[in-house]
Chains A and B, each alone.
Chain A
Amino acid sequence: MLEIKNLHARIAATGTEIIRGLNLTVKDGEVAAIMGPNGSGKSTLSYILAGRPDYEVTEGEILYNGESILEMDAAERAAKGIFLAFQYPMEIPGVATMEFLKVAMNSQRRQRGEEPLKVADFLKRVKEAAGSLEMDMAMLKRPLNVGFSGGEKKRAEILQMKLLEPKLCVLDETDSGLDIDALKIVAEGVNALRSPDRSVVVITHYQRLLDHIVPDTVHVLYKGQVVKSGDKTLAHTLEAEGYAGIIGEAA
């Protein structure tokens, strides 16, 4: 699904290098957790995967199903099936949420050479997805994310993920700002999407989310590199012992 080879990347405006030789492979159907202390490059990695223009890849390669995505813009990557659930979803006044969902779904369909959705079909899909996430349809009549609480924004991200049916889901600190009930609902939403042909990269600072979205692999990111990889028990070790031990080994 995803192969990242010796990736180096920096902030375009300042030239500050954030990712320094990162290697990571995520197989089809795999749920990979990326953990690490603050400032290790977790969010930057998610933005680079999604194609945010503020970052510049200076070396290395990102292959998605064997194809390099470095020359694709964010919209092309999304249409190919890469989805980023934002840590801080944008509030966009004046863009109605429903309209946004429809345009997004149909843009992706168009880029894949599919017919646009019929209105009734679209509404049915949105109602089902919103219901499963215990979201009020009235919320979707509001402008995109405007006035949504932190938890509502995260649910809205998962709603978009369900509707867009991506192949590679990148969740950036989806647990931050969620209470335990909201966390469970969001985690169930993600778990429902697990399938042999869909992979999930869960970026998180804490073990908490991984109790609900159980990963196949866990990777520790530090100073822009994966310094240790393991199975789900690695997350428990980190929870018990903190990052100090692993960082010490790496240094």
Chain B
Amino acid sequence: MNMHAQPQRTRAEAALAEAFAARVGELPGDGAVVLTRDRAIEQIKAGLPTRRVEAWHYTDLRQLLTSVPDRDAAAHAESIAPLVAGSTVLPVLNGAANGEAPAIDGLAVSRVSDRLVDGSLATALAPQDGDDAVGAFNAAFVTDGWLLDIADGTAPERPIELQHVHGAGQAHVRLPVRVGTGVTATIVQRETGAGPALVSSVSNLTIGDGSHVTWVIVQEQPEAVTHLGQFNAWIGKNAKLTLFVMNTGGKLVRQEIRVRTTGEGADFTLRGVNLLAGDTHTDVTMTLDHAVPMTSSTEVVRNVAMGRAQGVFQGRINVHQVAQKTDARMACNTLLLSDEAAFFTKPELEIFADDVQCGHGATVTEIDAGHLFYLMARGIDEKTARGLLVKAFVAEVIEDLEDEALVEALEAKLEGWFAAHG
């Protein structure tokens, strides 16, 4: 018996418990899945994380999650144009994998709902630990998604776009991807839809030895959407993952990135762009485990915050005792464009190996007056000049991606955001 009095449930916690009770009968899954779902909802009922939980220090989910819209299975959602023209699109519309799996050599695709029904996803469904609220949300409520298996030695010519589009209400999807050995692939994950909505999206990526994967997450939720995202990756021997995350929307956003190097020579690159406006809260929290010797990583996150937007970047790098010769570099730079905007950065390095190179840096700045004068001295009016400089600050990170089509598409997103918020 717990000695502490159970605190009174918040409205959101009560609504989630009720929603689960009402829907558990129709959620896909075998016995093992149902048990996992049950444990997950217990975790939520025990209380959403507060600022007293270290990993949620700047995002008090218990306080910030004020309403839980009802799931509406009939809500309208339709597929959107892919980020890169010609991509292989796999849509998940309002929580249901939509359409037929494409026939592409080396690509095995199945519906997550089927894998829940046959129980093969039961183990992977469980939340990772007691603080894994995003994992618990998703485990309890997930309805569907696409499961991808990319065969050894293949290199799909076109990007694969996993398109998660929801209607008003709730949508919970899961995107498990297994990449074999010696693969080169680009995967785009889109997160958008209509509000008001509560959305969770969990992606699990395992990368086989020697493979190179570029994964791009573009989150452009409308306002009045709570977005709980989690990206998990395990990088094998001499494999390389480049993860690009762009957040440009949502009312309350938590995007977790959990990466582990599992084979020597693994390399992880994170490039993040957060474009924050309005009265919103966006939290990107990364946990990176250098778990074997000789692995490397660089993380660069650039943030632009205007209006009353609040942003958070927590970057935690754990260098395990065996992980000698780790090389890890992390930087987070923020441009604050209004007095009421705020950004919190918390870099953490926990190093148990003694022969490593690790560094981190964080800056919060305003527009450089010298740069502004230089542009204006060429006849560029102040508003345009400021816009150019802010875009340049972010574009630098986008240009780190080597794929020209991706760079162009992301820069177009950038232009669009500034056109709407400039």
* Smallest beta-carbon distance A183→chain B, Å: 23
Task: Say if the beta carbon of A245 comes within 8 Å of chain B.
Answer: no
Task: Say if the beta carbon of A52 comes within 8 Å of chain B.
Answer: yes
Interface string of B373-387 (1 = CB under 8 A from A): 111111111101100
Inter-chain contact A75/B395, CB cutoff 8 Å: no
Interface string of A76-107 (1 = CB under 8 A from B): 01110001101001101111000010011001
Inter-chain contact A111/B379, CB cutoff 8 Å: yes
Task: Say if the beta carbon of A44 comes within 8 Å of chain B.
Answer: no
Task: Say if the beta carbon of B370 comes within 8 Å of chain A.
Answer: yes
* Smallest beta-carbon distance A133→chain B, Å: 17
Report B-chain residues with C-beta under 8 Å of the C-beta of A84: 377
How far is it, in angstroms, between the C-alpha of A73 and the C-alpha of B384 when the chains are bound?
A: 14
* Smallest beta-carbon distance A81→chain B, Å: 9
Report A-chain residues with C-beta under 8 Å of the C-beta of B376: 51, 73-75, 78
How far is it, in angstroms, between the C-alpha of A160 and the C-alpha of B378 when the chains are bound?
A: 8
How far is it, in angstroms, between the C-alpha of A132 and the C-alpha of B379 when the chains are bound?
A: 23
Within the complex, which residue of B374, B382, B388, B394 is in contact with A90, where a contact is CB–CB below 8 Å?
B374
Task: Say if the beta carbon of B393 comes within 8 Å of chain A.
Answer: yes
Interface size on B, as a range, is 20 to 34
Within the complex, which residue of A73, A75, A94 is in contact with B391, where a contact is CB–CB below 8 Å?
A94
Inter-chain contact A75/B392, CB cutoff 8 Å: no
Inter-chain contact A51/B377, CB cutoff 8 Å: yes
* Smallest beta-carbon distance A150→chain B, Å: 16
* Smallest beta-carbon distance B335→chain A, Å: 12
How far is it, in angstroms, between the C-alpha of A143 and the C-alpha of B373 when the chains are bound?
A: 17
How many A-B contacts are there with CB distance less than 8 Å? 77
Q: Would you list which residues of chain A between 30 and 83 have a CB under 8 Å from chain B?
A: 50-54, 73-75, 77-79, 83
Inter-chain contact B379/A92, CB cutoff 8 Å: no
Task: Say if the beta carbon of B369 comes within 8 Å of chain A.
Answer: yes
- Most chain A Cβ neighbours within 10 Å, of B371, B376, B384: B376
How far is it, in angstroms, between the C-alpha of A104 and the C-alpha of B376 when the chains are bound?
A: 9
Task: Say if the beta carbon of A174 comes within 8 Å of chain B.
Answer: no
Query: Nearest CB to that of A95 among chain B residues?
Result: B392
Inter-chain contact B374/A89, CB cutoff 8 Å: yes
Interface string of A129-162 (1 = CB under 8 A from B): 0000000000000010000000000000000100
* Smallest beta-carbon distance B32→chain A, Å: 50
Inter-chain contact A95/B388, CB cutoff 8 Å: yes
How far is it, in angstroms, between the C-alpha of A111 and the C-alpha of B375 when the chains are bound?
A: 15
How far is it, in angstroms, between the C-alpha of A74 and the C-alpha of B384 when the chains are bound?
A: 13
Task: Say if the beta carbon of B337 comes within 8 Å of chain A.
Answer: no
Task: Say if the beta carbon of B351 comes within 8 Å of chain A.
Answer: no
- 12 more contacts with CB within 8 A, not counting A77-B377, A92-B392, are A51-B376, A74-B373, A74-B377, A75-B380, A83-B377, A90-B374, A92-B374, A94-B394, A95-B392, A100-B388, A107-B378, A160-B378
Report 26 cross-chain contacts, Cβ distance below 8 Å, ordered by A residue: A50-B373, A51-B377, A52-B373, A54-B369, A73-B382, A75-B379, A75-B380, A78-B376, A78-B379, A78-B380, A79-B379, A86-B374, A90-B371, A90-B374, A92-B371, A92-B392, A93-B392, A94-B392, A94-B393, A94-B399, A95-B375, A103-B380, A103-B388, A107-B378, A107-B379, A107-B384
B residues within 8 Å of A by Cβ? 369-371, 373-382, 384-385, 388-389, 391-396, 399
